Amino acid sequence: MKTTPLKPLCFSTILLFFLASCGGGGSSPSVAQTSTTAAMLPPLLIPPGTLPRVILPSETIQITTVKVQNLSALQTRVPVTFGHIFAKGDVPATYSVSAQLADGSVLPLQVDIKATHDDGSLRHAIISAILPQLGANATETIKLLKNNQLNPAATANTPAELLSAGFTAGMNIVLNGQTYRVSVENLLQSAKYSNWLNGAIVNEWLVSAPLKDAQGLEHPHLTARFAIRSYTGQKTARVDVTLENNWAYEPGPQNFTYDTQIQVGNQTVYSKAGLTHAHHARWRKLFWWGAEPQVHIQHNTAYLIASKAVPNYDQSIVFSAASIAPIKAKFTGAVTEPMGSGMAQPYMPTTGGRPDIGLMPGWAVTYLLTMDKDAKFATLGTADLAGSWSMHYRDKNTDRPVSLINYPYMTLLGNPGDTYNPVTKKSERFPVCGGICTNINVADSAHEPSFSYLPYLVTGDYYHLEELQFWTMYNLFQSNPGYRDNIKGLFNRTQVRGQAWILRSLADAAYITPDNDVLKKQFPTFLSDNLDWYNNAYSNNPKTDNTLGAIFDGGSTVYNSGRGMSPWMDDFFTSAAGHTLELGYSKAAPLLAWKAKFPIGRMTDPGYCWILGAIYALNVRDSATSPYYTSFKDAYLASNAATLTSLPCAGTAMAANLGLKVGEMTGYSSEGTGYPSNMQPALAYSVDSGIAGGANAWQVFIKRSVKPDYAKGPQFAIIPR
């Protein structure tokens, strides 16, 4: 790899001002500028394992910290790369990010900017550095600073240096007696790669190609993708391998069973015989060429939560080794192999409480609150395995997840005629199965975990970004085109819990997708259209007779012969609306304010006893064709026996009648997945909505006598900000 040597004066200037370009100045990073690089340190000028003390720019303010834990003996020149979220305004467009170690030494950074806030400030970046050394089992604290100097734009580097150092990698499969191969070095030499990371410290190149047989014929369905992360001046690289079977419109989609091998540095690093690769699914493995850094990166939990990129999970929960041990025990063995489900429920339509369900899964929240190594391993590993479900549809024309913008009439439901596009006069129907198309992993938006949002935030791995985008687009196109208003992707016709998790994933994708990604404008548009629908139907609708604040669409009143609905499903949606607002989407504000009436009313309305605030099914009308009730008292009386409603609320007589402790709510109050727990995020966001009664409702709820131990599963442990 050829680089232009730095002149001595320029290098001294960089050391003096750290992130300033020669002569000061610089320009604000644009959307197209995906990388900025801090001080470029030629290896000949900075001996390995040393770092000079330098003067920082005139204005530096600490933003947060990141810790790097050494998991082995002494390591020198340790490469680290991680994703990081930044709160709106913390790093304005005219500022940059620098770093200091605990001893005051400046740590040169490479900051690959991925997403910005609407005010131009930094939202998400991938940060890379070379730590001079890490003592045995030691932990180094990196201070991330905002400074008033701008970084010079990076020049794109090529893979030439890596290849000249002897790097090789590839994979082969044996399918029906035929061997198919792909070589990474050939792909890199062809120059048909894109830069994901680009700078003086590290470069990452994305390449892909179909597997080919000995005659050079391409397999029509199986495509290999690689992300090769190479650190400058070091004979080490991360090899990220993904094998896909997910072209959207390739004829004859089906499962394939094959033997596979992955090679790195002329050595077989992974092999699997008899692997059945499901249609429209993919699998991923990570390896290193050269020495793998033995480190565990820990983000600052308080900062991540304060940024509002993640919900306000209760940081006072006390976790023990025993509470984390089940995560480590479950994420092992067959469930971690390709087409495995990791921590997730493979058949998503399975009912009942489980750690998958929530704005984030229980295992991911445990990792967020503890920064525990094993919880992180399970969280990232399960996100890798999100590829195991048959809902990955990639467009060959764009090489990106298939989009409603390009195919507004595609669907997994409905009749073939529903897929006819009157503009193009073509069918957008997906090809029919060409063989066996079964998969024990069954997707269901009504029970869909948030696999990849947090993993992408903290790693910046392209695989996790695309997983989030695959699942989000699947949620939008799976329904009948007529029901979703074709290109708008409306999802109000699905189950209320499905509406909740689709809204959550769509808001996450809209928020974190990089600025220069073709899907960046699409996801916010889909989100805006859906929020418009909800506001027009409910919060901004002067003609609505729905005064309770509950959603009565999407077949919600399916209980008790069409009279009842499930408050817990509705609470899921309220929490998703609150999360969407916290991500900065203002159209969610009136929706949340309207929705907040429902959980608040169930805790504070004088005609409704809060002990039954988390009731499983609430009757909201006299019959399947009757008007909806307009008071909580009517719903309360219609949903419970007179022998119960005649008793004083929350008294000893009511507790005896229900077989509970005094002050204990119904619905498995001691369980982290019980109905009161399902209600907690909705109440927390209702408090933050600012409408009357929110704070009082929270006080009633939080003072209940029986509460869960959220250390065993904290996915619903959200509290008001």
Confidence of residue 10 (pLDDT cuts 50, 70, 90): very low
Type of residue numbered 231: Y
Q: Looking at per-residue confidence, does 32 or 458 come out higher? A: 458
Q: Please state the φ and ψ torsions of residue 326, each to the nearest 5 degrees.
A: -60, -30
288-328: per-residue pLDDT in tens?
Answer: 999 999 999 999 999 999 999 999 999 999 999 999 999 99
Alpha helices for 513-631 (secondary structure H): 522-534, 567-582, 588-595, 597-604
Q: What percent of the chain has pLDDT over 70?
A: 91
Q: How many CA atoms lie within 13 A of 604 on its CB side?
A: 20
Distance CA 469, CA 395 (A): 13
Alpha helices for 441-512 (secondary structure H): 453-459, 462-477, 496-512
Which residue ranges form the domains of the chain, and what is each CATH number?
8-147 (no CATH), 160-291 (no CATH), 302-712 (1.50.10)
Q: Looking at per-residue confidence, does 44 or 354 come out higher? A: 354
Confidence of residue 83 (pLDDT cuts 50, 70, 90): very high
565 pLDDT more than 90? yes
Pairing of the two strands 75-85 and 122-134: antiparallel
Task: Give pLDDT, residue 31.
Answer: 33
Task: Give pLDDT, residue 57.
Answer: 52
5 pLDDT more than 60? no
Residue 57 has what DSSP assignment? P
Tokens matching residue 282: 């993919």
DSSP output for 228-267: EEEETTSS-EEEEEEEEE-BSS-SS---EEEEEEEEETTE
Q: What are the residues whose beta carbons fall under 8 Å from the beta carbon of 613, sequence distance 6 or more?
A: 567, 599, 602, 603, 665, 676, 679, 701
Q: What percent of the chain has pLDDT over 90?
A: 88
14 pLDDT more than 90? no
Averaged pLDDT, 397-405? 97
Distance CA 135, CA 69 (A): 9
648-678: per-residue pLDDT in tens?
Answer: 999 999 999 999 999 999 999 999 999 999 9
42 pLDDT more than 50? no
Average pLDDT of the residues of the chain: 91
Confidence of residue 414 (pLDDT cuts 50, 70, 90): confident
Which strand (E) or helix (H) includes residue 14?
helix 8-17
Task: Give pLDDT, residue 40.
Answer: 31
Residue 674 has what DSSP assignment? S
518-527: per-residue pLDDT in tens?
Answer: 999 999 999 9
Are 221 and 256 in contact, with CB atoms under 8 Å apart?
A: yes
